[in-house]
Structure 1
Amino acid sequence: MQFRYQALQRKREPDELDAAVMLAAPRGWIAVFVVLIVMAGACGWALLARLHVTVDAPGVLTHPGGTSQVQSPYTGMVGRVLVHPAEQVRAGQPVAEVTDPGGTVRTVTSPFAGKVISAALSPGQYVRTGATAATVERTDLPGDRLVALVFVPADRAARLVPGRPVRLSVSTAPPAVFGLLRGRVTSIDPYPLTREGLAAVAGGELAAEGFKQGGQAPRLVTVDLIPDPGSSSGYEWSTAKTPPVRLGSQTSVSASIELRTQSPFELVLGR
């Protein structure tokens, strides 16, 4: 009977049709607005932001001609070695003397100018025709300059085009102190380097092993360094503090080549 009495009392009360109804508390609306703002910002960032897609590869600072081998045209016993590593040689300069089986002393000369990277012969060594007498970094080609030769895996070089910006981490200039060396792609070899070709460019079989990634033959990418007359190194860097000395050849580098830029939205779509 008590419940029936309460029900009758409520039925006698007039309906409060003009009373305001609270759908959500103010704190709830604030949370909704915050979520909407965050979602709008995320959508705007996904559409307008630009992400840099890069490919990383090892390389070396050298000259456009790379390295070449001076080979002995004679068979016989090595008498004297006339050049040493880091020494400059000119075209036609003797690099070694070989005594042939007839007792005649033959002179092995360098057919090109450059800097000796290594001298492969030693006195008393018996050599045959075609043996490497010295490896020379060539500096006799037209337009000689310091460049970066980068060895990019063939499967990642398909989208490379000349003109793309490059950042180089130089082994003799810590990036934490001096930043990154700037450059631009000037050429991409159309075919992967053979084992012999890689060894010829890198300066020997041992050096070539350090430029192979995943066991596949790389493609050679030539990077021109951006000059900066105001820098002690002679080139432009990503920071104001640059190395106090000029860069030298045969310095190993790690290159980051920019392939393209895309928005996060395109990345999600897999474009």
Structure 2
Amino acid sequence: MQFRYQALQRKREPDELDAPVLLASPRGWIAVFVVMIVLGGALVWSLTVHLRVSVAAPGVLTHPGGTSQVQSPYAGMAERMLVKPAQQVRAGQPVARLQDTDGRTRTVTSPFAGQVISATLTAGQIVGVGETVVTVERTDLPDDRLLALVFVPADQAARLHPGSSVDLSVSTAPPAAFGLLRGKVTSVAPYPLTREAVAALVGGDLAAGRFHTGKAPRLVTVDLVPDAGSASGYAWSTAKTPPVHLASQTSVSASIQLRTQTPFDLVLGR
């Protein structure tokens, strides 16, 4: 049997039992330490950071009295509208003039003060008893102020309660430029609203379509946080606030805080 010279030479060399064995290179240990630090930081973050859990819903800036419809107590033909949208009216002010079936001129007056939201009656139009002449946003209540009415889907409103923080994105004040309008929940309706109830609050069936999209919503009333130093009179999430006053009937998108939750609890489903 023949053996190669190299194999015989290796056989003659003594075993190097006292030589150190390199299990991992320094570069490998650095990678292990980096991974451990990242995992530790992620664990600390998941236990200490609190994430905001919120519900989003559409709404509108308005007054506590909402909107009301001025209806005609007479039947006849419209002669002239005496008011127009965005006009302020006082209680008892004439809003339209009609000619009844006997040829007499009749005047329809507003029973309350407020701002005209819509006036769709035109000259020559036949009007029946109880038909809407104008829609008025009421401003005659003792606690009149600007607030937000938010329509939250009923299945998402169970955890809402007064005092919850609200951030409002105002359609006339881009959030990228002015931030979000601050507010607090003051009341949550106990029952869902019908489409007719929503229409009565926002000024008609056409406007109600944005807030009643198949599922009956619950009404959440949001008071705006005042800020005397702001041009609008209300607090915003940024120091640069809109240079004008907020107007009623302005659309908003609300984000209502439900609770805060750590990422660890979120993963566990708690």
Normalising by structure 2, report the TM-score. 0.92
Match of 1:240 in 2: 239
SS in 2 for 1:211: coil
Match of 2:46 in 1: 46
SS in 2 for 1:152: strand
Cα deviation, residue 146, structure 1: 0.5
Paired residues, number = 270
Match of 2:159 in 1: 159
Match of 1:200 in 2: 200
Cα deviation, residue 5, structure 1: 8.9
CA distance in 2, matches of 1:124, 1:21: 104
CA distance in 2, matches of 1:3, 1:165: 87
CA distance in 2, matches of 1:268, 1:64: 41
CA distance in 1, matches of 2:134, 2:36: 70
Question: What residue identity is the alignment partner of 1:220?
Answer: L
Moved more, 67-76 or 21-30: 21-30
CA distance in 2, matches of 1:194, 1:10: 94
Cα deviation, residue 79, structure 1: 2.2
Match of 2:84 in 1: 84
Matched, 1:218 2:224: no
Cα deviation, residue 88, structure 1: 1.0
Runs of 4+ in 1 over 4 A off after TM superposition: 1-17
Question: What residue identity is the alignment partner of 2:48?
Answer: L
CA distance in 1, matches of 2:86, 2:27: 75
SS in 2 for 1:155: helix
Question: What residue identity is the alignment partner of 1:228?
Answer: D
CA distance in 1, matches of 2:167, 2:218: 18
Please provide the CA RMSD for this pair. 1.9
Question: What residue identity is the alignment partner of 2:233?
Answer: G
Match of 1:73 in 2: 73
Unaligned runs of 5+ in 1: none
2:232–2:244 Cα contact (<8 Å) kept: yes
Cα deviation, residue 80, structure 1: 2.4
CA distance in 2, matches of 1:3, 1:163: 91
Q: Write out aligned runs for 1:1-271 (5 A).
A: 1=1, 3=3, 16-213=16-213, 215-271=214-270
Moved more, 92-101 or 130-139: 92-101
CA distance in 2, matches of 1:202, 1:145: 16
SS in 2 for 1:53: strand
CA distance in 2, matches of 1:92, 1:3: 123
Question: What residue identity is the alignment partner of 1:44?
Answer: V
CA distance in 2, matches of 1:32, 1:211: 54
Cα deviation, residue 60, structure 1: 1.0
